Amino acid sequence: MQKGLICRIHGNVTLDKCATCRVPCHPYPALEAILEGARTPVRGSYSTTELPRPYKSVYLSRNNDYYVKPENLLPATLGTAWHSLVEKHENSRYLMEQSFKTTINGLTFTGRADIYDTVLKILWDLKTSAFYPIGKMIEGDWSESTFPYQLNTYRHFLFPDAEEMWLDVSIRDWKKWMKPKYGISRWIKIQVPFMSLEEITNYVTERITKHAEYQESGVLPDCTKDEMWMKKNGPTFCLDYCGGAAFCEQFKQWKKDNNYKEV
């Protein structure tokens, strides 16, 4: 599980080290904030956000103490802050942060939906994202996104009467030139396609069962190039987002083969 931060001076450190640092990279309260979302994994329990992650990444993250660069936690922290601000504005028309907990093949599956409009029957999901995947979604290409699975899961377990599903997206690397070229602003909405109940049920059942099986066996499949987010500058997911990267032989081999030097 996530234990602390990767310091440019001291290497892997916990927050108590940051509290006494004489050359802080950031104010201590800010570092506390980005680590606030770290949770202890529960054996046999998986969430809607964890379920689509690569099997190897989930296993290594759950079974090893790992540390993260502060800057890599910032986007998720800003997203959480946005959620918290919106949640404060209660309104009887909207159901916010509704959660579910169910059992599948003896395993616990949990999830929490952001906003449901009970009048228009719209399920909303708040996101902060880079432009690249958003651009593909706008064009109708959902092949690299797990958002349809997440929202359709919320619809299945919480709001089966939902008639529309939308992502409410803040594009964190938005630039002014994107407006005339792509016709999009910094804050946009994207409609999410519906999936059948059977498709969602099969997906969730398969994923949670395999996660649990790999947790027991420890015999893991290699991540695919798509799961690694392989780009020209390397596997983005491994480099910046996978908690288990430091323990992954597949990633170590990639670095060796490509003579990769940590920046």
Domains present along the chain, CATH in parentheses = 78-205 (3.90.320.10)
pTM reported for the whole predicted model: 0.88
For 168-215, the pLDDT digits (tens) are: 999 888 888 888 888 889 999 999 999 999 999 999 999 999 999 999
Which residues are CB-neighbours of 94 under 8 A, at least 6 positions away? Answer: 115, 116, 117, 118
Q: What distance in Å separates the CA atoms of residue 155 and residue 239, rounded to the nearest whole number?
A: 33
Average pLDDT of the chain to the nearest whole number = 91
Model confidence band, residue 263 (pLDDT cutoffs 50, 70, 90): low
pLDDT exceeds cutoff 80 at 12: yes
In the chain, pLDDT over 90 holds for what percent of residues? 59
For 243-262, the pLDDT digits (tens) are: 899 999 999 999 999 998 87
